[in-house]
Amino acid sequence: MESRIRVLFLIACALALSGCSLWPFHHRKHAEEPVPVEATAADGAAPAVVDPTVRRRKIKTPHIKQSNFEIGPYVGTFSVEDFGVNPVYGARLDYHISEDFFAEALLGRTNAGLTSYERLSGGAQLLTNSQRVLTYYELAFGYNLFPGEIFIGHRSFNSSLYVTGGFGGTHFAGDDRFTLGVGAGYRLLLNNWLAAHVDVRDHIFDIDLLGSNKTTHNLETNLGVTVFF
Amino acid sequence: MRTVLKLATLLILATAAGLAHSADNRRHFDRDAGHYVEVSVADPYLELRTGPGRGYPVFRVIARGERVEILFRRTDWFKVRDEHDTEGWANVGNMRETLLASGAKLPLEDLSHRDFDNQPWELGALSGNFGGGNVNTAYLGYSLNENLSTEFAVSQTLGHASNSTMLTLGLTHSPRPDWRVAPFLDLGTGVVRIQPKATIIAPPDRTQQIAFYGAGAKWYLTRRFILRADYRHYVIFTKLDSNEDRNEWKAGFAFFF
């Protein structure tokens, strides 16, 4: 019964909301069509000396190529706390919102090694091989902290030192873990569409593998290239 | 670790190739005629900067009446090339005062308000709390008009006892989209897949239908960039006698295009 009332309530809300959109809450700017001059002249009683056959000129909106997205792979090292440092591979997609801000989506994968305990104890294994594969995603927000130019010989290149902060998930040791990510990086624009990156990122997540729950800091360092489109 | 070194070398080589390529990237102004949009300067002058940002120095000034080609646009900056083949960055405010060959002004959007007709899409990421667990959400919105929009969202909830993945489709109503902090109400439905954690006696995964209503606000912080916070109340339609309720609070950022 209770659910039926809820469903009815939701339907009522849906109808009310769609009704609200018709309500003139805001001042819609109706662009008033200017009265064509030719038309009024033609309607007049006085005979036209010159019969204007003015055709409405077609205005084609010029297409300007936009280049706000950036996509590319990166490789580097990933230090999984207690599990050693291992290679990491990943890809990023960035969208430049303004000259200051950008949004970033990251996807990466690494393999965790052995803990010191596993090495010293001989045979004891905390994780299976498949549980050692670590994959992560992150949705981050970046700020171009120090945009600038660098000079190589007599040529100059635009660059930016940026900071990022975001959240995501890490799949490791048989579980998905909520992850906070903070990082800093350097972007060097080689031409209009190609850039090189150096990034350092901290992935912060809780893990309860060794008995008690603890927060771990997992540092990643990588090199990447991106293409603007 | 050797593969990383190999790949890093490859990246550096690609970078060097890019550097070499950029050296002979210049083409003649008139040879590309018709390929790019060409405008003439109508302001007293057009400033060209060395980079797409307010801090980059002005290195060239183009006089009124001279022509420039627009190569591409990045955020609020246009990479242009003048009649002498010099390339530089011009700001959108400056470019608005340029004329097309037809004599019309270069049509560019108004920066002070979001133009819902030409920028109907919204993409964002939110994080927060869903029934005691952490939740990450990515959403894509499409504006039907200034007030109404549809939103498709993918959420992952990472809790202590269970993880869940949720797909929702909703309708969002914003009564005052012109406000800098615009409130909204939303309503929708979806499915949730709940995966109990293996450490507890594991019941099977469940996929259930859900419905939600909620409210929130979007803060149009700078052009195209939005900070957003919202609350949602979910009802999970279970096969049991009573339905389950969940509250969700989340905040994050979004942009429209």
Residues B79 and B157 grouped into a single domain: no
What is the spatial distance between Cα B56 and Cα B70, in angstroms, rounded to a whole number?
19
Residue B161: give the domain boundaries. Answer: 121-256
* pLDDT surpasses 70 at B31: no
User: Which amino acid would we find at residue B130?
Assistant: F
B105 in any annotated domain:
no
User: What integer pLDDT is reported at residue A37 of this predicted model?
Assistant: 47
Q: Which helix (H) or strand (E) holds A168?
A: strand A155-172
Residues B54 and B177 grouped into a single domain: no
B87 in any annotated domain:
yes
Q: What is the CATH number of the domain that holds B76?
A: 2.30.30.40
Complex-level ipTM beyond the 0.95 threshold: no
* B253 shares contact with chain A (CB less than 8 Å): yes
Average pLDDT, integer, range B91-112: 79
Task: Name the minimum distance, in Å, from the CA of A124 to any CA of chain B.
Answer: 20
Q: Smallest Cβ distance to A95: which of B104, B252, B255?
A: B255
What is the spatial distance between Cα A205 and Cα A207, in angstroms, rounded to a whole number?
7
Dihedral angle of Cα A33, A36, A42, A44, to the nearest 10 degrees: 70
Residues B151 and B90 grouped into a single domain: no
Residues B30 and B145 grouped into a single domain: no
What is the spatial distance between Cα B217 and Cα B227, in angstroms, rounded to a whole number?
8
Q: What is the mean pLDDT of chain B?
A: 84
User: What integer pLDDT is reported at residue A33 of this predicted model?
Assistant: 47
In angstroms, the Cα distances linking B86 to B44, B59, B61, B69 are: 19, 10, 11, 10
B211 in any annotated domain:
yes
Residue B37 confidence class, pLDDT cut points 50, 70, 90: confident
Average pLDDT, integer, range B70-84: 90
**Number of independent structural domains in chain B:** 2
Contact B243 A2 (CB under 8 A): yes
Read off the tokens for A105. 């989506």
A13, A25, A64, best to mutate vs chain B, most B CBs in 10 Å = A64
Q: Smallest Cβ distance to A225: which of B15, B25, B73?
A: B15
User: What integer pLDDT is reported at residue A6 of this predicted model?
Assistant: 66
User: What integer pLDDT is reported at residue A171 of this predicted model?
Assistant: 92
Residues B74 and B185 grouped into a single domain: no
B20 in any annotated domain:
no
Its CATH architecture, for the domain A69-228, is Beta Barrel (2.40)
Rg of chain A on CA atoms, in Å = 30
Residues B143 and B63 grouped into a single domain: no
What is the spatial distance between Cα B163 and Cα B194, in angstroms, rounded to a whole number?
6
Task: Name the minimum distance, in Å, from the CA of B202 to any CA of chain A.
Answer: 14
Q: How many CB atoms lie within 10 A of CB B244?
A: 15
8-state DSSP, A83: T
Residues B94 and B185 grouped into a single domain: no
Residue B98 confidence class, pLDDT cut points 50, 70, 90: confident
B108 in any annotated domain:
no
Lowest mean pLDDT among A213-227, B32-46, B85-99, B209-223: B32-46
Contact A190 B15 (CB under 8 A): yes
* B15 shares contact with chain A (CB less than 8 Å): yes
Q: Which residues of A touch B15 (CB under 8 A)?
A: 188, 190, 194, 196, 225
Residues B132 and B162 grouped into a single domain: yes
Regarding predicted confidence, which is higher, A210 or B30? A210
* A77 shares contact with chain B (CB less than 8 Å): yes
Residues B157 and B250 grouped into a single domain: yes
A14 burial level (CB within 10 Å; 0-12, 13-18, 19+): middle
HSE-up (13 A, CA, CB side) for residue A136:
32
- Those of residues 3-42 in A touching chain B at CB distance below 8 A are 3, 6-7, 10, 13-14, 17-18, 20-21, 23, 25-26, 28
Read off the tokens for A220. 């990643």
What is the spatial distance between Cα B23 and Cα B17, in angstroms, rounded to a whole number?
10
Regarding predicted confidence, which is higher, B20 or A23? B20
Dihedral angle of Cα B213, B169, A69, B253, to the nearest 10 degrees: 10
Structural domain ending residue among the three candidates B65, B100, B135: B100
Q: Where are the domains of chain A?
A: 69-228
Dihedral angle of Cα A99, A101, A107, A110, to the nearest 10 degrees: 90
Regarding predicted confidence, which is higher, B101 or A93? A93
* B111 shares contact with chain A (CB less than 8 Å): no
Residues B130 and B211 grouped into a single domain: yes
Regarding predicted confidence, which is higher, B60 or B1? B60
- CB contact set of A6 (below 8 Å; sequence gap of 6+): B211, B235, B243
What is the spatial distance between Cα A69 and Cα B205, in angstroms, rounded to a whole number?
37
Residues B234 and B126 grouped into a single domain: yes
Residues B157 and B89 grouped into a single domain: no
User: What integer pLDDT is reported at residue B235 of this predicted model?
Assistant: 93
B13 burial level (CB within 10 Å; 0-12, 13-18, 19+): exposed
B146 in any annotated domain:
yes
Q: What are the backbone angles phi and psi of residue B64, rounded to the nearest 5°?
A: -60, 140
What is the spatial distance between Cα B40 and Cα B228, in angstroms, rounded to a whole number?
40
A8, A101, A146, best to mutate vs chain B, most B CBs in 10 Å = A101
What is the spatial distance between Cα A108 and Cα A95, in angstroms, rounded to a whole number?
18
Residue in B with minimal Cα distance to A207: B160
Q: Which residues of B touch A17 (CB under 8 A)?
A: 148, 171, 173, 185, 187
- What's the maximum distance between 2 C-alpha atoms anywhere in chain B? 78
* A213 shares contact with chain B (CB less than 8 Å): no
pLDDT tens, position by position, for chain A (229 residues)?
Answer: 455 666 666 666 665 655 555 554 444 444 444 444 444 444 555 666 777 677 766 656 678 888 999 999 999 999 998 889 999 999 999 999 889 999 999 999 999 888 888 888 877 788 888 889 999 999 999 999 999 999 988 889 999 999 999 999 999 988 888 999 999 999 999 988 999 999 999 999 998 887 788 899 999 999 999 999 9
User: What integer pLDDT is reported at residue B168 of this predicted model?
Assistant: 95
What is the spatial distance between Cα B106 and Cα B103, in angstroms, rounded to a whole number?
9
Q: What is the DSSP string of chain B?
A: -HHHHHHHHHHHHHHHHHHHHHHT----TTTTBTTBEEEEE-SSEEEEESSSSTTSPEEEEEETT-EEEEEEEETTEEEEEETTS-EEEEEHHHHTTEEETTSPBP----SSS--TTT--EEEEEEEEEETTEEEEEEEEEEESSSSEEEEEEEEEEE-SSEEEEEEEEEEEE-S-TTSSEEEEEEEEEEEEEEEE-TTS--PPPEEEEEEEEEEEEEEEEETTEEEEEEEEEEEEE-SSSS-EEEEEEEEEEEEE-
